[in-house]
């Protein structure tokens, strides 16, 4: 029970302090690291998506996820696993223009990334007990943040794209000389396994498989799936960061191998 008029806890406004914060620790470090991490990925992915080189290794049939699915006549021969229903694309349109907006939307509206960039980039608030620069709070009730509520639909799209990435990883075992296994296959497989971990650990996925049920006991299969997804869900933040790293590593490896900068390490030819 509040017995004194403490403006910091029981008043209608915040405590009026001249200093922005009284914290003396390095509270700014986590937001800074988050910003640098996200910016590094966005710049790398942005540049690579427009390069149109080094995305397909014709010898080992490695396709980078940044160019999947490749559906236009502009794709190099062999890289279009699902045909080329789209004609030539001008250079300013990424070859994976159909999947990239959905993947971007999936990550941008992700509950974990929201927390990360609301704190680090939007500074709302940057840390506990640190004043935010914004005078008003409107939540996610109007544009542009109301789009966050579409996360479930981005999840559906991301699920389909992860299936496509899985297909890319599997057909890569059938290279120019037939069946073979190289380091590139291992990297593609690990990347896609981690993408599944990230996708299936999504909060929307957890709701899709186990939400709106009144009695788990009457739906044992969905209860089991929900239990497994819930276990993954506790690691969602880790998967969010790890997959940014594996996406870059996978793309980089395909880029270097396909441009003959390095040779693929072969285990089975
Ligand atoms: Fe993070 Fe859905 S992908 S909550």
For the record, the structure tokens of 47 come out as: 């540049």
pLDDT at position 267 over 80 = yes
**Is residue 158 one of the residues assigned to a domain?**
yes
- Residue range of the domain that includes 258: 29-268
Question: Is the backbone of residue 129 left (phi > 0), alpha (psi -120 to 50) or beta?
Answer: left
Q: Rounded distance, CA 257 to CA 56, Å?
A: 9
* Complex-level ipTM: 0.99
**Is residue 33 one of the residues assigned to a domain?**
yes
**Is residue 8 one of the residues assigned to a domain?**
no
Pairing of strands 178-179, 174-175: antiparallel
Q: Rounded distance, CA 177 to CA 183, Å?
A: 16
- The gap from C-alpha 65 to its chain's centroid, in whole angstroms, comes to 12
**Is residue 24 one of the residues assigned to a domain?**
no
Q: Is the CB of 202 under 6 A from ligand 1?
A: yes
Identify which has the larger pLDDT, 23 or 11: 23
Q: Is the CB of 152 under 6 A from ligand 1?
A: no
Q: How far is the CA of 251 from the centre of ligand 1 (A)?
A: 22
If 0-12 CB within 10 Å is exposed, 13-18 middle and 19+ buried, where does residue 220 land? exposed
Q: How far is the CA of 202 from the centre of ligand 1 (A)?
A: 4
Q: How far is the CA of 111 from the centre of ligand 1 (A)?
A: 5
- DSSP of 125-139: SSSTTB--S-S---T
**Is residue 15 one of the residues assigned to a domain?**
no
Nearest protein Cα to ligand 1, atom 2: 202
Pairing of strands 62-63, 178-179: unpaired
Contacts of residue 90, defined as CB under 8 A and 6 or more positions apart, other chains included, come to none
Residue 200 and residue 232 in contact, taking contact as beta carbons nearer than 8 Å: yes
Q: Residue 250 has what pLDDT?
A: 98
**Is residue 9 one of the residues assigned to a domain?**
no
Q: Is the CB of 208 under 6 A from ligand 1?
A: no
Residue 265 and residue 181 in contact, taking contact as beta carbons nearer than 8 Å: no
Probe target for ligand 1 pocket from 38, 111, 140, 157, with the most ligand atoms within 8 Å of CB: 111
pLDDT in tens, 179-224: 999 999 999 999 999 999 999 999 999 999 999 888 999 999 999 9
- Number of domains, the chain: 1
**Is residue 7 one of the residues assigned to a domain?**
no
Q: Residue 11 has what pLDDT?
A: 56
Probe target for ligand 1 pocket from 204, 229, 237, with the most ligand atoms within 8 Å of CB: 204
Bridge partners, 179 (sequence order): 174
Q: Is the CB of 266 under 6 A from ligand 1?
A: no
Residue 44 and residue 248 in contact, taking contact as beta carbons nearer than 8 Å: yes
Q: Rounded distance, CA 10 to CA 184, Å?
A: 59
Please tell me the pTM assigned to this model. Answer: 0.90
How many Cβ atoms sit within 10 Å of the Cβ of residue 103?
A: 20
pLDDT in tens, 130-170: 888 888 878 888 888 899 999 999 999 999 999 999 999 99
**Is residue 13 one of the residues assigned to a domain?**
no
Q: Residue 37 has what pLDDT?
A: 94
Identify which has the larger pLDDT, 110 or 9: 110
Q: How far is the CA of 169 from the centre of ligand 1 (A)?
A: 23
Ranges 117-131, 231-245, 253-267: which has the least confidence: 117-131
């Amino acid at each position: 029970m509040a017995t004194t008029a403490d403006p910091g806890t029981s008043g209608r406004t915040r405590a009026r302090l001249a200093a922005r914060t009284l914290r003396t620790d390095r509270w700014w470090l986590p937001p800074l690291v988050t910003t640098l991490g996200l910016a590094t990925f966005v710049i790398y992915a942005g540049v690579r998506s427009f390069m149109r080189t080094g995305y397909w290794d014709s010898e080992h049939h490695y396709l980078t996820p940044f160019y999947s699915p490749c559906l236009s006549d502009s794709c190099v021969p062999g890289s279009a696993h699902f045909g080329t229903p789209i004609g030539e694309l001008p250079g300013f349109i990424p070859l994976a223009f159909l999947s990239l907006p959905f993947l971007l939307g999936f990550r941008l509206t992700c509950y974990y990334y929201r927390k990360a960039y609301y704190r680090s980039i939007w500074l709302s608030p940057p840390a506990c007990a640190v004043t935010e620069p914004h005078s008003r709070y409107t939540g996610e009730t109007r544009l542009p943040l109301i789009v966050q509520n579409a996360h479930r639909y981005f999840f559906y799209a991301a699920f389909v794209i992860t299936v496509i990435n899985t297909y890319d990883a599997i057909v890569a075992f059938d290279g120019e000389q037939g069946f073979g296994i190289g380091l590139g296959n291992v990297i593609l497989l690990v990347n896609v396994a981690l993408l599944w971990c990230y996708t299936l650990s999504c909060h929307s996925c957890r709701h899709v498989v186990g939400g709106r049920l009144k009695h788990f006991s009457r739906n044992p299969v969905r209860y089991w799936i929900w239990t497994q997804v819930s276990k993954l869900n506790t690691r969602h933040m880790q998967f969010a960061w790890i997959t940014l790293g594996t996406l870059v590593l996978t793309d980089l490896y395909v880029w270097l191998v396909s441009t003959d900068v390095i040779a693929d390490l072969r285990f089975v030819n």
